[in-house]
Structure 1
């Protein structure tokens, strides 16, 4: 039996656990680690279909907001 782990899923779980911690003073190292995990997660998910869907949805939302603000 071969066990495989998808790194994007693993990083998503780690990121959720880091963000859901109690709100309290965090050290600079903790903030840096959370930022690094978030950036790596973004890089891993970007070329996937899910990442492209998120990009398209975000772009459509930004265009809608921009068009609503234009006279």
Structure 2
């Protein structure tokens, strides 16, 4: 439960940071955003939500493969 709350907080921070103008960002800001995105990905991955996100592209690829036969 705590993992999801921290992950949601990081997602909100990423969305807030990405809303800023591109010209106003420094290299440090861009690197910090990348680190936050990676951290949120690590927190979300082992949760059921993360597993569902990973399963969707696999199911789409499987459907495309079966449709091509």
TM-score range, shorter chain: 0.7 to 0.9
RMSD: 2.8
Does 1:49 find its partner at 2:42?
A: no
Unaligned runs of 5+ in 2: none
* TM-superposed deviation, 1:59: 2.3
Higher relative CO (CA 8 A, sep ≥ 6), structure 1 or 2? 2
More helix by share: 2
Distance 2:15 2:57 in 1: 20
State the distance in 1 between where 2:15 and 2:48 align.
21
Kindly report which structure 2 residues correspond to 1:1-71, keeping only aligned pairs within 5 A, or say none.
Answer: 6-61=5-60, 63=61, 67=65
Following TM superposition, where does structure 1 have runs of at least 4 consecutive aligned residues deviating by more than 6 angstroms?
Answer: none
TM-score between the two structures when normalised by the length of structure 2 = 0.75
Unaligned runs of 5+ in 1: none
Taking the aligned partners of 1:29 and 1:66, their CA distance within structure 2 comes to: 41
